[in-house]
Amino acid sequence: MELIRLTIDGAVALVTLDRPPVNALSEEMALELAEAFEACRSPEVRAVVVTGQPHFAAGGDIKGFQASFDRGDKDRTAWTLQTAITTLDSLEKPTIAAVHGYALGGGLELSLGCDFRYLADDAQIGQPEILLGLIPGAGGTQRLPRVVGYQRAKEMIYTGRQVGADEAMSMGLADKVAPSSDLLDLAVADAHDWATKATQAIAAAKKALNDGSALPVDQGVLVEKAAFQESFFSDDAREGVAAFLEKREANFKGG
């Protein structure tokens, strides 16, 4: 991969966007993201951090949009990026976006594919597509309302305005805020901590939350029931129960 770096430290995978100067998202970059996230399905990877510096991703490659206009062709970047983000969202393990600088348009959509968003204190995030006469095309109209609520998402998408770290924290769009110099270390440390947890149970909880959130409660609880039964017979569950009864720390293996 030329535009994405994938490094693995123990049970934690670090996916780094590397297309200077602002990590503008091209179709090639989206394809490499999808490849990296597929690699993160490995059972040896138990937590994932996604990042980019000095900017997480400042949006789509506008020159690519112009090239699509000139060809009279549909833009393929958004569809490719949507596929990559869907893969990220479906990973059965905790995922953290460590957001430096700008996370705009597809950059914010990429962060929304993660379970948690950690923002540098000087980060700026938003869905500015409307300012180009466009709308979010990689899941923003669907995932953003699920995080911040329908009305807040509508206001952000209609206006295209950027949100700072403190406001993002107040609306639940950020889970933690830290100085830029400390952000990646914090995210990686937390990922290593998550990797020691009962990741099989986390995977089941993630499936129940993702699959059930858009369903009526009576259908959602059936999704939860199936996920609970799957986790109940896992090695992690046996270890957790045994550790509780034996009054010791559990040693979860993620199975």
pLDDT tens digit at each of 255 positions of the chain: 899 999 999 999 999 999 999 999 999 999 999 999 999 999 999 999 999 999 999 987 777 666 666 666 666 777 889 999 999 999 999 999 999 999 999 999 999 999 999 999 999 999 999 998 999 989 999 999 999 999 999 999 999 999 999 999 999 999 999 999 999 999 999 999 999 998 888 888 888 888 887 788 888 888 888 888 888 888 888 888 888 888 888 888 876
| Amino acid at the residue 110 | L
Domain locations along the chain: 4-194, 199-245
pLDDT of residue 65: 66
Q: Give the residues across from 5 on adjacent strands.
A: 16
pLDDT of residue 87: 96
Q: Is 33 in contact with 1 (CB distance < 8 Å)?
A: no
What is the topology classification, in CATH, of domain 4-194?
2-enoyl-CoA Hydratase; Chain A, domain 1 (3.90.226)
pLDDT of residue 10: 94
Going by C-alpha positions, the residue among 185, 194, 172, 171 that lies closest to residue 120 is 185
pLDDT of residue 43: 93
Backbone torsions φ then ψ of 39, nearest 5 degrees: -65, -30
**Cα pseudo-dihedral 74, 34, 142, 202, rounded to 10:** 170
pLDDT of residue 214: 79
| Tokens 């490995």 -> residue | 42
pLDDT of residue 73: 64
In Å, what is the CA distance from 222 to each residue of 97, 99, 102, 214? 30, 35, 40, 13
pLDDT of residue 125: 98
